[in-house]
Amino acid sequence: MASAGFSRSVSARLSYRNVSVSSPRVSTSAHRKWLVPGYFFNALVLVFFLVSLVLVLGCVLYLYWFRYLSRGGNGLVSAFGGIAEGCDVFEGNWVPSDSYPLYNSSLCPYIERGFNCLANGRMDTDYLRWRWRPRLCEVPRFDAFEILERLRGKRIVFVGDSMSRTQWESLICLLMTGVEDPRSVYEINGNNISKTIQFLGVQFRSFNFSVEFFRSVFLVQQGLPPRYGPKRVKMTLKLDKMDNISRRWVDSDILIFNSGHWWTPTKLFDVGCYFQVGGSLKLGMSINSAFRVALETWASWVESTINTNRTHVFFRTFEPSHWSGSGQKTCEVTNQPTLEAKGNIRSEFTDIIADVVAKINVPVTVLNVTMMGAYRSDAHIGQWSHPSSILDCSHWCLPGVPDAWNELVFASLFRSGWR
């Protein structure tokens, strides 16, 4: 990830001076014997060589150790220190690690029952013991104690669908491993975690910060269609208007978006939801085109509304599902990650996100986690859902894949000098 060069030219001359014979402590003959030219020169060269070697080793250690492991105080940025020099942290593989999982699901009250596979009867635990390793660098373990200190007085906001809620739950559980008194962590309004509730917020009282989730599956407004529209149009997505609750996302320090899983015919056209721009229906518009227009509306909103000097903005890409069989109705959870990326990755959504963000005029980080999840057919909920009659090859068990997303978020923040 880094290279170090070290060169130096040396010129040395020996000069001799007469030593006064009046000195009672120095024998003229002994002194001259010690100053044998050949011996002295060889000794000086040897000393210089050893000093130079120490300096070279010191430079190498500095460049490869302190530069990447000490910046930020605890090494969280080492994984990202070399991105500009060729390390793509989103290209890599999952490797077994006995140091994972990062938390105990039975000790975290903020994992909803539907994501807690162990509580729902899953017996094998191998899926918990994998960590993401990029090809050209490392992502250090999540340091809850360091991050809790950095989060004092701050506000983290997740916006999106149930995948965003999963990441929200994951982060709370990760951070709670560094909290002395679990009772100092509580839901702001006393709400239980629900699939349909629009807002959930957890306060870390001892550190005076909150981790919040806003349910906004499309990011843009959903509402009634224009008058005199076709009868099949029951509602519309107003692609040129942000969700009404977007004003509540503004004053945050870390803002993480995701969208995509609801952009399907079954969740749109089959229930009578079509697209609208201004006062006009766009009945012939494809889902991909509508997704792009919605993201462009989101990008304009970020540019005009978010103070990116304060707020770090992330957009996470589409998370693969691993349904199989006729009509994609079979959910077979594997025992281990696959060696090849598989599943429904909907890469066109990832391409649209990357393209829109590339054109935005303010800093936004794309969390390109799509291929990371494509290897993890072992980490889905499967039959260990709640209720158990519902198969799930879309969402992830917790602990699991979303923990790696949060590790990447904070490694990225530390790399950028976040304080």
Is residue 45 pLDDT above 70, yes or no?
no
Is residue 102 pLDDT above 60, yes or no?
yes
What is the per-residue pLDDT for 392? 95
Per-residue pLDDT of 303-327, as tens digits, reads 999 999 999 999 999 999 999 877 7
Distance CA 236, CA 133 (A): 42
Q: What angle do CA 294, 317, 242 make, to 5 degrees?
A: 25
Q: What is the DSSP string of 116-131?
A: -TTTTT----GGGSEE
Distance CA 193, CA 112 (A): 6
The yes or no reply on domain 70-415 and CATH 3.40.50.300 is: no
Q: At what angle do helices 347-359 and 287-305 cross, to 10 degrees?
A: 30
Return the domain boundaries, the chain: 28-66, 70-415
Q: What phi and psi, each to the nearest 5 degrees, are found at residue 161?
A: -100, -160
The pLDDT confidence band at residue 38, using thresholds 50, 70 and 90, is low
Q: Which helix (H) or strand (E) covers residue 91, if one does?
A: none
The pLDDT confidence band at residue 396, using thresholds 50, 70 and 90, is very high
First-last CA distance in the chain: 24
What is the per-residue pLDDT for 219? 98
